[in-house]
Amino acid sequence: MAQNNDSTEKYIPVVPAHVSMAEVTWKAIILGSMISVLFGVANAYIGLKFGMTVSASIPAAVISMAVLRFFFKKVTVLENNIVQTVGSAGESLAAGIIFTIPAFFIWSANEQLVAAGYFHEISRMQIFWLAMLGGSLGILLMIPLRKYLVDQEHGKLAFPEGTACAEIIVAGDEGGSKAKMVFTGIGVGALYKISMNMLKGWSESVNYDFKSFLKGGTIGIDASPILLGVGYIIGPRIAALMLSGAVLGYLGIGPLLAFIGDQIPTMIISPGEIPIAEMSSGELRNSYIKYLGVGAVALGGFMSLIKSLPVIISSFRKGFGELLGKKIEGGTLRTDRDLPMKWVLLGVVGVIIAIWLLPGTELHFIGVALAVLFGFFFVVVAARIVGVVGSSSSPVSGMTIATLLVTCMLLLYFGIEGTAGMVTAMSIGTIVCIAVCMSGDIAQDLKTGYLLGATPAKQQATEFIGLLLPAAAMGFTLYFLNDAFGFVEGATGRTPLLAPQANVMATVVQGVMNQNLPWAPILVGGMIALAVELLGVSSLPFAIGLYLPISLSSPIMVGGLVALLIRKISNGDEYKKKKEQGILFASGLVAGDAFMGVIVAFMIGLWGTYSEFYDAHDGMMITLTGAFGPWLSLIMFAGLTALMAHLAYRGFNSRDSK
């Protein structure tokens, strides 16, 4: 079921529009809601501890097939699709919350802010409403974009997780060689993840900092099956654009900064807190390169919005035509049916009013306007980003930081400052961040549904169900984790969950309000992205690569190179079959890795003995294989890459490849 690259040819889904099939059923809703809560809580913990989340769509689809087939004889692919649609909402909501909400707890633990009169504590109920309002805004604003991004751009936008999820659901339903390829990938990905991450057999990330030659530069690779699989699915071009941004940042700008630092060995240049000459490559990134990435992502997002304006206008024109009772051509097919635009518009208005009335967040008229404006802007951007590089590589934190930067400056202009301004800015950032995460999730889900032949309106409606229970659970989860561990050093006496993104955002807001934020690197990053646009190249994948560590772009590039190799050594119809085999195996790798990532999160949070073991071996040289761990990591990743290339080209045997 590989995507058709000819965008002029209408795609025929697995379940054609004229076929009626069970879709939204009570068993799908109940199972999806349970998965949504479990994945949301698990991702909240692992995200606060490690600064990352694991995709839930594919594990949800795998769990759905296993559970529903075990308890029920007859299960349709569209029921499985509803389970993964509902189940994936918890993970996306968790990402939006953990990147922002802990900032309130961080400020509450800051003695200087407390002494200055800051004693605002965000309540569980406020967390619930911020989650519901931000999530609902993201879902509603994505609905008018579905026709363009998912349908008209089919064959141009990869939607790697959405495509992988559809492959798994179809393979599980059809059985045979497709299922064998997918579940082999799941088994290999899970076994690899268990050996590397759960048992700490070898290093997960291998990095090398140049000391003399190219000082300040760094190379590295996160030897992860999920990143290898995503690279194969998105292909070599997008992977290369991402890597180009990383190369500029970490092999170009980093060494340049180190060279300048050597000329002024004792001078401290803001926002750095030590001389550049004393900084490692990681410190150079955190102090300077990261801000270049923020500026580049903001500019790239703005360019994406400009390019999408004709389609956005067309989508809303059709929507208003429906509102006024005009007949929309092509809208009668089941697979083309979205939620009625009048309900979408009423929903957006209701969310705006609810945001305005939400107590304790200092969101007056200006705050509401900024939340909706940035929410709309970045929802459009994020929905396209996940179509290009997938949810795993979507720079949600970068977009949220850009929102906070502009919001803080506008609040200062209108005289809103101090702790009230900090609370307003972070409340806006929270709503926008959650909206962005949820829009990316529903975009992937709608792509899965498009490939399978689901009814878009039913997916859009059930996404709200998937949002409800995790939103209720998140407040209790954050309070439990804050009381147990805290989010800053010394808060509880135990090893804290440092919540890296939330700490950065809390720092940014304080920096702008105190007027000491480094604008120069942010503006320079925007100019770099503009230069890339002027070359006729989309700057957004490039900007993502500049913002993310090079260790994330490199394994994606490896997967893209495998896809390129398969294309070069295959011919005609043979290539189509081999590409599909590769996508099936890559989808399985993504599923196996993501599923075991969730299991690891549960084990860390619920099993103290394992948590101690995990923490004790959390480093390159502290794995069970010691100093050989990084080398073993490279060997195992090379073997995994070779296996993917072999199975993509040959299949399991000569009979399968005929």
CA angle 605, 494, 505 (to 5 degrees): 80
CA angle 527, 532, 537 (to 5 degrees): 150
Question: Per-residue pLDDT for 618 more than 50?
Answer: yes
More confident residue, 16 or 117: 16
Give the model's pLDDT for residue 112.
64
In three-state secondary structure terms, 560 is helix
pLDDT per residue over 85-94, tens digit each? 998 888 889 8
Query: Own/partner pairs for 523-526, CB < 8 Å, 24+ apart?
Result: 523/295, 524/292, 524/295, 525/291, 525/292, 525/293, 525/294, 525/295, 525/296, 525/297, 525/298, 525/299, 526/295, 526/296, 526/298, 526/299
In whole angstroms, give the CA distance from residue 436 to residue 139. Answer: 9
More confident residue, 312 or 231: 231
In three-state secondary structure terms, 218 is strand
Question: Per-residue pLDDT for 153 more than 50?
Answer: yes
More confident residue, 446 or 518: 446
Give the model's pLDDT for residue 328.
47
pLDDT interval class at 495 (50, 70, 90): low
14 assigned to some structural domain: no
How much is the average pLDDT of 358-364? 73
Q: For the chain, what is the largest distance between any 2 Cα atoms, rounded to a whole number of angstroms?
A: 74
**What's the token pair of residue 281?**
């490559």
Question: Per-residue pLDDT for 228 more than 50?
Answer: yes
244 assigned to some structural domain: no
Give the model's pLDDT for residue 656.
44
Mean pLDDT, the chain, integer: 81
DSSP characters for 285-331? IIIIIHHHHHHHHHHHHHHHHHHHHHHHHHHHHHHHHHHTTPPPTT-
In whole angstroms, give the CA distance from residue 217 to residue 204. Answer: 20
In angstroms, how far is CA 195 from the centroid of its own chain?
A: 25
**How many structural domains does the chain have?**
1
Residue with tokens 């000082």: 215
Question: Per-residue pLDDT for 243 more than 60?
Answer: yes
346 assigned to some structural domain: yes
Give the model's pLDDT for residue 183.
81
pLDDT interval class at 8 (50, 70, 90): very low
Residues 6+ away with beta carbon under 8 Å from 181: 171, 581, 584, 585, 588, 647, 651, 652
More confident residue, 48 or 551: 551
19 assigned to some structural domain: no
Query: Own/partner pairs for 185-188, CB < 8 Å, 24+ apart?
Result: 185/229, 185/584, 185/585, 185/586, 185/587, 185/588, 185/589, 185/590, 185/591, 185/592, 186/62, 186/588, 186/589, 186/591, 186/592, 186/595, 187/588, 187/592, 188/225, 188/588, 188/589, 188/592, 188/640, 188/643
DSSP characters for 231-266? HHHH-HHHHHHHHHHHHHIIIIIHHHHHHHHHHSTT
Which structural domain, as residue segments, surrounds residue 374?
A: 26-184+286-547+590-617
Cis peptide before 470 (omega within 30 of 0): no
Give the model's pLDDT for residue 630.
86
How much is the average pLDDT of 102-127? 75
pLDDT interval class at 133 (50, 70, 90): very high
Give the model's pLDDT for residue 6.
45
387 within 8 A of 236, measured Cβ to Cβ = no
Give the model's pLDDT for residue 329.
46
10 Å CB burial of residue 324 (0-12, 13-18, 19+) is exposed
Give the model's pLDDT for residue 652.
67
In whole angstroms, give the CA distance from residue 29 to residue 18. Answer: 24
Residue 76 C-beta-side C-alpha neighbours within 13 Å = 17
Share of the chain above pLDDT 70, in %: 85
193 assigned to some structural domain: no
21 within 8 A of 458, measured Cβ to Cβ = no
Whether this model's pTM surpasses 0.85: no
In three-state secondary structure terms, 485 is coil
575 assigned to some structural domain: no
More confident residue, 477 or 320: 477
224 within 8 A of 555, measured Cβ to Cβ = yes
460 within 8 A of 143, measured Cβ to Cβ = yes
pLDDT per residue over 333-357, tens digit each? 888 888 888 888 899 999 989 888 8
pLDDT interval class at 529 (50, 70, 90): very high
Of the candidates 196, 219, 239, the residue with the CA atom closest to the CA atom of residue 558: 239
In whole angstroms, give the CA distance from residue 158 to residue 550. Answer: 22
The amino acid occupying position 360 is G
How much is the average pLDDT of 190-200? 86
How much is the average pLDDT of 173-181? 65
Q: DSSP class of residue 154? A: B
In whole angstroms, give the CA distance from residue 109 to residue 491. Answer: 7
pLDDT per residue over 530-566, tens digit each? 999 999 888 888 988 888 888 888 999 999 999 999 9
Measure CA of the first residue to CA of the last residue in the chain; give whole Å: 17
How much is the average pLDDT of 14-33? 88
